[in-house]
Structure 1
Amino acid sequence: MATNHKVRVLVWLRRWSKRDWAIAISVFAVIIFALTLTLSLNSFSDDSYSPSPVDSTADDIVDLTLLRKAKSRGALCLDGSVPGYHFRKGFGSGSEKWLLHVEGGGWCDTTESCSFRAGTPLGSSNYMERRISFSGILSSDPLQNPDFFNWNKVKLRYCDGASFAGHPETELKTGNNLFFRGQLIWEALMDELLSVGMSRAKQALLSGCSAGGLATLIHCDDFRQLFPKDVAVKCLADAGFFLDEKDVLGNYTMRSFYHNVFTLQSLAKSLPKECVEKMEEPSECLFPHEIIKNIKTPVFLVSPAYDWWQIQNVLIPGTSDPHGYWKKCRRSILKCDPSQIEILDGFRKSFLRTLSDFQKKTDGGMFINSCFAHCQTWLTETWHSFNSPRLNNKTIAESVGDWYFNKRVVKQVDCPYPCDPTCIHVDFS
């Protein structure tokens, strides 16, 4: 009986196509990471923090380095531990080129959710993996990462809960022994990387995923200021363009959440001064559509128009669906009925309207596909592989490379779901 069962399983597995396997592997990675990060509801976490995608090779295993002068500078994670990063030295023609990738992982907006986070890799280096695998945009394989494979590559671990933008002014008010030092962490990380060779960079790219994508936008111009004017410096935000949209019940859930993060961790000094001074509600300056108005450095935006994280937390947060009407659709766009797709399409249209001014920027780039996805640069399957999503027959990696090296103008926007057969849709059901 057991033998017959095994035979049936083998037959079933052999029927899978190469693309079926690619989708299964990518979805498995996302689900494992999401389950690993079961933070409180107010923490707005996501799966993208995980540093161990399943598609890396042994050659891309990179050790954790703890920040050397962190304690003397007061640059500490939420729990007071020392922040860290992973550094893979470049080689050949990439020895004087630097690519930084900021880890994602949501935010915390209350002392309770920050205290919980302080006991996870997103709030403490005590829980971070000591060795992680680099893949996607961090891969050292030229077949997986054609333009950046031999660059110096750094993954910045995220442990402050506010996109490296927090300040310690409110620490004593919480009474929870929490450290809000995101800005200090950022500055200390940059200084250490400059001291180990980044100061000699001829080209540099700051990238980040999700909350790390937001951090990339916040610090993009600061990053540019670290280098001489003749150094080519650009920024790439992956799934970091969060919308200030009403949820399906008409509430500004994300706006309220960002207000709490802004207030709790005193973010004002890390956000554009022009915005903070003129806005009636300064916390709204945390939204990318406000930040990007002031960025002078060239920026590339990678984003799915049907970002599953934003659908689940901005458009349809759990509290907005008490009767479970959206339950299946929130987990998989394949399970949405026509009326639900119409609402998701409205969210997509709002996203594209928000990007209308950015589209006019001559030095900006975009890759906006219609996949039910979130971060797409950190996994090889979605960054650059035989099965990767494509627009105009270009992968994300190829599009980013064309933009960074000024090969052509890259402003790619996909048609609405379900027209794109190259999409790898995450399915949580």
Structure 2
Amino acid sequence: MSKTITANQLLGEIGEASVRLRFLNMGFQFDVRSRLEAGIDGIAEVMDKGRPLARMIAVQVKATASSRYTSEDESGFSYLLRPDDLVYWRGSNLPIIIILFRKSDETYFWKEVGVEKAEERRLLFDKASDVLDANAVDRLAALTVPKAGFGYYVPPLGGGEEALVNILPITLPKEMFVSSTPHSPKKAASILLDSDEHARFDWAIKDETFWSFSDPRETVCRKLVDLDQVEAIDTSVLAFHENHDEQNNFAFLLRKTFDHQVRSDLVWNKDRKLYYFRALAENTSRHFAYEASRKKASTEVVNLAENKADKSQIAFVRHHALVPRFERLYDQWYLVINPTYFFTTNGFIPHSYPAALLSGKKRLDNSASLRGQVIMWHRFLSQVDREGSNLFKAASSEPRLQFGEPPIISLATRVPEDVWGSQKKAAVESDEAQERLFG
């Protein structure tokens, strides 16, 4: 009896050869493994304009002649991985992708295989975004970089661009006021809240010493200090102290001063440690108009989301928000802006289940939207300086923080758009330290 090669064997060879050609056309190398392979058909190497980068991706090819995939429609389909493949892949030191090749329509779809959990067997493919072609180059390159540690560098492929850094340089008041006080922070707050005058909290108390950029003798804070001990000193004495605890003390004062300046427009949420735009009325949107990079812009900073089942009802209200962090770099203080969102039911009552709403919105954000949000926050915080408006309702004569333009740096290469969705662990240690120092 003569030997034969089955149709499935031929289809497998055609699939691997087709995928290899597709990778070569994309500018990657692709080396097919020997017949002894047990679940990885080849190794793709990332290249940048013909230069090998020694960054590898393990590839498993699944070929079909013309069969439809599970639950396939115009937008996508699902694919169930084999349990024994997952067991094998779990020991890999390379990122693993699966490529589905269909001969009848010459389609190539790819997906990264997550092997952390055995139950993650079903992959969902999007026919628009999961195509193996030139548009997938940066996403594939991003897979080859370890995501552990304090941060990671994603190898951008292609031309350069300008990047906006999400920090605003702060111009500090030239002088600040210090005084002895017999009160703890908690007792001082109680005194102000019991007073007939409007309370203000743009101050800090540490080790029986009161600090503020405003003269306490001219405000309700005169009730907190020893009036004969009030002294004006050069801000730089405390702002640029070499002791780390003193830097945290000063950062806390900056946050309290910031809170006082934005109190009419932003709300502080203690649980999330963020500020969000205040709603002007129940179930009412709010806009902020400003000068963007090249033209006038307007952002709906309080946005109403309709109930899909009943459009006459409001499902939730989304507020633009920021997580602030004050950092000192050499002889300059900065406000680090981390844009985010806060959700309420009607503009005032916090939403009971905000996590899913936040993750859904974050997935839609890209580099352009994040850049726009940083610009918007700068325009908001600096509007009183730029236009002389009454953005902050405090008297214009009061000392306050001023915020400069976010720096722009030139990158030699472009940052892949897809990696903006990668969530990294927030740097919160300094914030918590600042909060702990003052109880």
TM range (shorter): under 0.3
Which structure's CA Rg is the greater one? 2
Structure with bigger helix share is 1
Structure with bigger strand share is 2
What's the TM-score once normalised by structure 2's chain length?
Answer: 0.24
What's the TM-score once normalised by structure 1's chain length?
Answer: 0.24
